[in-house]
Homo-oligomer: A and B are copies of this chain.
C-alpha cells in the first residue's frame, strides 16, 4: 500500500469534490449550459483577481498565459524592462525577446527579490520602456516580490507603463488586488493555489492593456485577447474550451468563495511560516532572503554533506513525501516544499517529520520532533499576528 503526499509547487493536490467534477460527461460548448458555466467562472475569477475588468481563460499551461500577456500588448521592437528573480522570470523575459521586444533585464541574485528603488532607477534610465515584466511569486526560488511597492514605484516614474505580472504560483497564496495596484495583465495558472489540475491559464486585462492591444503588432492568434473577448461576449469561446478543468474550476471557486480571500491568504501564510520554522529547526537554510520568502513554496538548502536530489529521493521513496527539485543552475543545490492550494497543517507536519527521519537516516544531526515542534509553535500563533505574506512571514520566522 502506498499513500503519498504531493508537496510540490504545482500540480497541487485537488480536493475530492473538485476531482470528481473532472469526470463529468461532456456537454455542448455552444449551449446555454455552457453560457451559464462561463458566466459563473468569470464572476468568480473577477472576485479572485479583485478586478472589475476583463478576465479570460485559455486552454493552456501558465507559460501560455505569459506568452498571451506579452504578444497582446506589445509590438516588435518595443523596449521592455524585465525583473526576473529566477527561472520563471527568465522565461517571461525570453518570451518577450522571442517575439521581438528589446529587453533590458534587471539582474537580481537568485533567492532575492527586486527592490522598488532598482525598478525606479532603471525606468528612469529607460524612457522608451513600454512594459515592465514582474513576477509575483518566483516558483524556482521560493521568493515573493512585493508587487504593490514595485508597481507603485514604476508608476511614480512612468505613469503609463504596462505592468505585466506573472502571478502563476502566487495568486491566492498572497494578496494581489489587480485593480487597486493598477496591474495591466496578470497571469495565473489553474494547477497552483486554485486547487484545479493543470490545463488552464487565467488572465486579467486592464483598460490600459486593451488600449495597448489595439495597436500592438506582435503576431497572435490562439492567445489573442480580442478574439477571446469577441467570443466571450456571446457566451462562447473561439475554440473548444478545456471543459474538465472548467467544471473543476467552478467547484474550486465555490470553495474559495466560501473560505474568503483573506482567510485563504492567511492560510497560506500560516503554512509557510510553519514550514520555514520547521526547516530552520533542522538546521537547514532557507534559499530565499528573509525579507522575501514565499507563502506558496519554500526553497531549502540541505546540509552540506547531502545533495538535494539525494535527500528528495530518500524522503520520497522511504517516507512517501514528494518534494520538488531545484531548477536551472540550482538543480542539485536546493529542494522545494510546495504548500499552496489544498494542503493541510497535518500535511506540513508530516512533511517536516519525514524530513527529520530522512536527515537522520542519511547521517545528519537532527533531534526527532524538533522541526515538528517549531512548526507547531508557529501554527499556534494567532494568525492576526501575520496578516500579509512576505514581510509578515519573514518577521514571524525571525521572531
Contacts and interface: CB of A to CB of B under 8 A. Distances in A.
A242 B61 contact: yes
Interface string A1-12: 000001010111
- Most B CB within 10 A of own CB, among A10, A31, A63, A218: A63
Contacts of A10: 240
Given A19-B25, A98-B219, 19 more contacts: A11-B26, A11-B28, A11-B240, A14-B25, A19-B23, A23-B23, A26-B197, A29-B198, A59-B59, A61-B241, A64-B239, A94-B221, A98-B221, A99-B219, A197-B244, A198-B240, A198-B242, A242-B242, A242-B245
Interface string A215-235: 000111111000000000000
Contact of A11 (B6, B95, B243): B243
A20 interface: yes
Nearest to A71: B219
Interface residues of A, number: 53
Nearest to A219: B99
A173 to B, nearest CB: 16
A30 interface: yes
Interface string A30-49: 11000000000000000000
A295 interface: no
A386 interface: no
A177 interface: no
A243 B59 contact: no
A191 B199 CA distance: 14
Nearest to A242: B199
Contact of A61 (B19, B239, B244): B239
Interface of A: 6, 8, 10-14, 19-20, 22-31, 59-64, 67, 94-95, 98-100, 189, 191, 197-199, 218-223, 238-245, 322, 324-325
16 contacts: A6-B27, A11-B27, A11-B29, A11-B240, A13-B26, A20-B23, A59-B59, A64-B222, A94-B221, A99-B221, A191-B240, A197-B243, A198-B240, A199-B242, A199-B244, A219-B219
Nearest to A61: B239
Contacts of A221: 63, 67, 94-95, 98-99
Contacts of A197: 26, 242-244
